Each structure stands twice: as structure tokens, then as C-alpha cells.
Amino acid sequence: MGVEIHVEGLTKSFGDQVIWQDVSLTLPAGEVSVMLGPSGTGKSVFLKTLVGLLKPERGSIRIAGQDITRLREHDLYEVRKLFGVLFQDGALFGSMNLYDNIAFPLREHTRKPESEVRRIVLEKMDMVGLIGAEEKLPGEISGGMRKRAGLARALVLDPEIILFDEPDSGLDPVRVAYLNQLIVDLNAQIDATFLIVTHDIASARQVPDNIGLLFRRELVMFGPREQLLTSDEPVVRQFLNGRMQGPIGMAEEKDAAQVEQELAGLDGGDEDQPAMTPRLLPSAGVTRPPRWQAIADREAVLRKRQVADA
């Protein structure tokens, strides 16, 4: 069931610009994790590094027993078949209609007959609500439709690992709700390991098992949803409540004195959202196999909180 991804001491720079350093985390097999962070903190770079499109300077990424940072291009090609990726810009081929775009990975990586390709493509297009748009070119449809076409394409190879870069940007709130339900149901059905980059706090609160936050070139925190949602760490609280007061500024970091003054002005954080939000459940009839690791992690967090409260 799914594949664990174990990242250790990962550092990525472009020239002398360090994007993030010493990032360590484990994406548990079969669980959904969300990565948050202000714009420009390197979330997309992180996803591209996980699929081996970008090479880190230091650290390792272990997937199914292999450190993919050390693989040659040929072996990397094999490992990439485990992944379904939705890039931030959708990355559809402009001259191909939606049907051919979505069929592309099947034709590239498998020898399935066209009848089977057709069955799979139509099934995924139905899943994301694109039936009837098979002949449309990417340039002729809305941004939200392009996003959903990218989602369908990411799913055709039955991936073990699913990476979605802002799947919800450009979607209206109702479609975001459907998308979140789709992600939860998919995870229950296909058991893949998910990592989703999003700026949508409401989704981040209710969809994943785990949440991470990138800020100031570091992974500030990564852990069970409950741990982040109940954290007292100022950056985490500011981000999860989407407020201006806190360490994160518009264009750059604020200085320490300013942050202190702002946080002192907040009266006990009363205006923050309630810490815990219920997790979105799979639809009726969709059952999720027990994620023992997630259950154990969650219980550990809750136990720690009880000790702290006592």
C-alpha cells in the first residue's frame, strides 16, 4: 500500500541562492500530507526535487529502498513511473486535445491497446467532471478545466505517489470542495501516498494526515495534522489563521521587534480559528483501510497535549 518517501538533510540552491536547507521528513505510505509556505519558499522546487527533475546539493530521498538523488537518468525514468504529478501550471501540451493529453502517459509508458486507453481516459475524465470536453484544446478552456485535465492525467498510470502542486488554485469554492472530497476518496481507494501543495488553509485543515510548513529556507515543522493545528509556534499560527500579524511579511521577513509588538497587540489569539477542525471523511461506501502509523502518531500528539494540559 503506497510507498514511503524518506527525505533526509535535503538542501537545494540555485547559484548562491539557497532555496531551503537541511529538510528532513517522512511521507508515510498511504497517507495524505500537505505542504504549506509563503509564495517563493520553494514548495514547487521541493516537488520537482522529489521526482528527480531538480538535483539537490546535499541530502537523500529514499523511495522503495533507493536514494533517487543518486540514480542515473535511465533508472530515474523507471522510478518516475511510480509518480503522478500535477505541476503548478498544468503543463498540458497546447497542440493536443484534452483526450490525447490525458492519454499521453499511457501511450508513452504502457503497451495497452487503444480500447483500454480509452476506457481509462474516459474514466478519469468523468472523475474530474470533464466528460464532453475530449476534443477541446487547452487554449480553448478555462483555467479550472485545465487544472482538472492535469489532475486526470496525473492519475491514469495508477500512481503509488501523487504530487499535486496547488490543485485548487483557479477553482471556485464549490469545485474546491469537490476536489477535496475527490482527494480523500482517491486516497481511500487507491492507497497512494499524497503530497499536496496548497495555499487554501481550509483544505489544509481538513484533508491531510500530516502538514508541513516551509519558511525562511527551512522546514519549520512537519507532523500529524493535529500537531500543527494546535501548535503555538508563531509562524505556524500566523499561516494557519491567514493573518497579517506575525513573522511573515508581505515581501520579506519582518524584524523581531515589529513581530513582538504585533503579537502583543493580539489579545490571546481570540480571533484565531478554533484549533481543531474535523477531518473530511471518505464518501459513503468508500472505506479507507486503517493507517496504523497515522493513528499512532495522532494518539502520541494527543497524549502529549494531555500531559501538557494537566
Ligand X SMILES: Nc1ncnc2c1ncn2[C@@H]1O[C@H](COP(=O)(O)OP(=O)(O)OP(=O)(O)O)[C@@H](O)[C@H]1O
Question: Residue numbers of the site for ligand X (CB under 6 A)?
Answer: 14, 19, 37, 39-45, 88
Minimum CB separation of residue 118 from ligand X in Å reads: 34
Binding-site member from 20, 29, 30, 44 for Mg ion (CB under 5 A): 44
Cβ closest to Mg ion, residue 88 vs residue 277: 88
The 3-state DSSP class for residue 3 equals coil
State CA 231 to chain mean position distance: 20
* Chain length of the chain: 310
Number of residues that bind Mg ion (CB under 5 A): 2
Cβ closest to ligand X, residue 120 vs residue 213: 213
Q: In whole angstroms, how large is the CA radius of gyration of the chain?
A: 20
Residue 198 makes contact with Mg ion by CB under 5 A: no
Q: How far apart are CA 62 and CA 73, in angstroms?
A: 16
Minimum CB separation of residue 246 from Mg ion in Å reads: 21
Contacts to Mg ion from residues 62-101, by CB under 5 A: 88
Q: Which stretch binds Mg ion (CB under 5 A): 43-51, 56-64, 101-109, 156-164?
A: 43-51
Cβ closest to Mg ion, residue 45 vs residue 294: 45
Cβ closest to ligand X, residue 37 vs residue 150: 37
The 3-state DSSP class for residue 259 equals helix
DSSP 123-150: HHHHHTT-TT-TT--GGGS-HHHHHHHH
Q: Which residues, 6+ apart, have CB-to-CB distance to 214 below 8 Å?
A: 20, 23, 35, 36, 37, 41, 42, 43, 46, 220
Residue 41 makes contact with Mg ion by CB under 5 A: no
Cβ closest to Mg ion, residue 40 vs residue 173: 40
